Amino acid sequence: MNKHNRVVATLACCIIFIQTFAQNKIVVFQTDFGLKDGAVSAMKGVAMGVSADLKLFDLTHEIPAYNIWEAGYRLKQTAQYWPAGTVFVSVIDPGVGSARKSVVLKTKSGHFFVTPDNGTLTLVAESLGIDSIREIDETKNRLKGSGDSYTFHGRDVYAYTGARLADGVIKFSGVGPLLPPKVVTIDYQKPVFENNIIKGNIPILDIQYGNVWTNIDKATFSKLNMQTGDQIHVTVFHNNDKVYEGTMPYATTFSAVAEGKALCYLNSLLNISFALNMDNFSAKNKVYSGADWSVEIKKE
């Protein structure tokens, strides 16, 4: 390959890289609005007003009202499966109209997150890494004629900015000024192995079935040297108060135990979880989820 062809090939690769990371026209929406009124539809209408070529998808609109932690978890749970360049618009914003910053996070994986910087970005910043963060300049990136509206930034600022970014109307540099590479975070128990005990957090429930999902990953769990069928001792805390204590087998499938019996298993994200076969572990034991829920496990 001569010098000219090498230059052309390099430029072509650069163009593909830029397009992949900034202009794939995909926007994924997440809110705590529900679907009983027109709020989500209004956001999508704003996006389509930017470009009818955009591809709009929903992560969920059933985040419990004001639950910033769950919003952050759902972003972490799903973002990794979307292609680089995808723009996520996440609006769980109890501080709407306050001094909290409106930002776009670009992760090292090449994903973009348009959201208030109120803790929503805690987990994706950790899992995907922070490339850079920009504060949204509302003098340039705000729906025309919405200046007198102070309580629907999801429509007027976030959907509009996210759509413009996804469509390539603006580059990431056009969002607004750079901020220091850190986000507002929510404190929680990270998985640690100490003295033959693993400590972790219960970030979320498998809500349809009442299974309890932890953030204890397969690699950390392996330090207990558990084999299928071994018994594991589980203690759950809420704000450091003991809520549940029990013993159950480590199993690969729910049917490995009798109906109504407890088991420990690896969920679809390869994190340790607890369940009752054909029953609701959360409801039966009053174990729930959030940054203030923690768990300890050890081999019996």
Which stretches in the chain have pLDDT values below 70? 1-23
Is residue 185 domain-resident? no
User: CB-based burial of residue 235 (10 Å sphere; 0-12 exposed, 13-18 middle, 19+ buried)?
Assistant: middle
Assess whether 163 and 198 both reside in one domain: no
- Report DSSP letters for 84-140, one per residue: TT-EEEEE--TTTTSSPPEEEEEETTS-EEEEESSSTTHHHHHHH-EEEEEE--TTT
Assess whether 218 and 143 both reside in one domain: no
How high is the pLDDT of residue 285? 98
Q: Are strands 87-91 and 112-116 parallel, antiparallel or unpaired?
A: parallel
Please identify, among 132, 154, 179, the residue that sits at the C-terminal boundary of a domain.
Answer: 179
What is the count of structural domains for the chain?
2
Question: At 237, which CATH number?
Answer: 2.40.30.90
Assess whether 250 and 142 both reside in one domain: no
How high is the pLDDT of residue 165? 97
Assess whether 248 and 290 both reside in one domain: yes
pLDDT tens, residue by residue, 89-133: 999 999 887 889 999 999 999 999 999 999 999 999 999 999 999
Question: At 170, which CATH number?
Answer: 3.40.50.10790
Distance separating alpha carbons of residues 254 and 276, to the nearest angstrom: 8
Helices 160-167, 39-50: crossing angle, 10 deg rounding: 30
Assess whether 10 and 108 both reside in one domain: yes
| Full residue range of the structural domain in which residue 289 is found | 192-299
Assess whether 196 and 246 both reside in one domain: yes
Half-sphere exposure of 87 (CA within 13 A, CB side): 31
Assess whether 87 and 228 both reside in one domain: no
How high is the pLDDT of residue 98? 81
Please answer whether residues 30 and 89 qualify as being in contact, where contact means their C-beta atoms are separated by less than 8 angstroms: yes
pTM over 0.75: yes
Please identify, among 148, 179, 210, the residue that sits at the C-terminal boundary of a domain.
Answer: 179
Is residue 243 domain-resident? yes
